[in-house]
Amino acid sequence: MAVTSRLRHVVSSQQFSRALLEDLIARADEIKREPHHFIGRLAGQVMTALFYEPSTRTRLSFEAAMLRLGGATMGTDNAREFSSAAKGETLEDTIRIVSGYADVIVLRHNEEGAARRAAAVSGVPIINAGDGPGQHPTQALLDLYTIRDELGRIDGVHVAMVGDLANGRTVRSLTYLLSKFKDIKIWFVAPAQVAMRDDLKAHLDDHHVPWVETADLDAVLPEVDVVYMTRIQKERFTDLEAYNAVKGVYRIDKDAMSRMRKYAILMHPLPRVDEIAPEVDSDDRAAYFRQARNGLHIRMALLDRLLS
């Protein structure tokens, strides 16, 4: 089925229809299977990676995706220091300038809503690569792709979102995407200090997606198909005492894995700190490195759909 949904900027997960998600997943499958079909697809096009916050996976997988499609890349790490933001230039002016040089801008910023502000003034597509505690929609695309890849389905999956849910933009974006599928159930597992925000729970209610809120991870582990661990994000806390009160609250080790279902998977957007013990890495259900690898294929699919 041809998907005609228009996609210009990628700012939030709510923009994606189920049909569009299925199209991107099918395209990523094709890229994985027959990468030679996509060589040179974006020849002559330029991607700028404008990153105001640190990144390993998002920045480098976007760059690799663009290069593998035949395009070129340029950009700046630590744009707060190395771009003219350091001289007081506004984000809007920077985007106006860069959109005259590039065909697409991949933007990571520390402020929630930055990608939407950038899209409002940009002459070329903006891709939100994480805006503070707001959203990270392309991480959610690779997460969704990983669930389908590992479990063979998305409909009917039961997912535990674990950790820093108040600041977790990947959890927010993935939850919005999952709400477009059938028979989903979500457990939000977090200490009260970093519980999921009410707007997302209201969204699930509006879309008739059942959810449970608890702090008891041990009780949830045997119930779910996917355990989605996240890091407590020290950089989002203004008060070190508040961070210390919740850091290390959940840890998946061999003992915790023994409580998970035999076919369930353990995911993490990475980077991890101490919430998944390295002893777990060799368990077949530890999907997080395969998940990160999937970022390349789904970002190739997204760039191809936006620019070809």
Rule CB under 6 A: which residues touch ligand CP?
A: 55-58, 130, 136, 139, 269-271
* CB-count burial class (<10 Å; 0-12, 13-18, 19+) for 70: middle
Question: Annotated catalytic, 214?
Answer: no
Query: Which tokens belong to 261?
Result: 């279902």
87 is catalytic: yes
Shortest Cβ 76–ligand CP spacing (Å):
15
How far, CA to CA in Å, does 250 sit from each of 41, 121, 191, 276? Answer: 44, 41, 9, 9
CA–CA distance, 216 with 279 (Å, rounded to integer): 22
Distance CA 31, CA 298 (A): 9
For this structure, is 108 an active site residue?
Answer: yes
| Catalytic hit among 87, 208, 238, 262 | 87
Q: What one-character DSSP code corresponds to residue 286? A: B
Choose between 109 and 185: whose C-beta lies nearer to ligand CP: 109
Give catalytic status of residue 236 as yes or no.
no
Provide the minimum distance between the beta carbon of 123 and ligand CP in the complex, in angstroms, as a whole number.
26
Q: What is the largest CA-CA distance in the chain?
A: 55
Alpha-carbon torsion angle 188, 192, 197, 200, nearest 10: 20
- In the set 9, 27, 57, 68, the catalytic residue is 57
Q: Is 57 noted as a catalytic residue in this protein?
A: yes
How far is C-alpha 139 from the geometric centre of its chain's CA atoms? 2
Q: Which of 108, 109, 172, 180 is catalytic?
A: 108
Give DSSP secondary structure letters for 85-142: GGGT--HHHHHHHHTTT-SEEEEEESSTTHHHHHHHH-SS-EEEEEETTS--HHHHHH
Q: Which residues are catalytic?
A: 57-58, 87, 108, 136
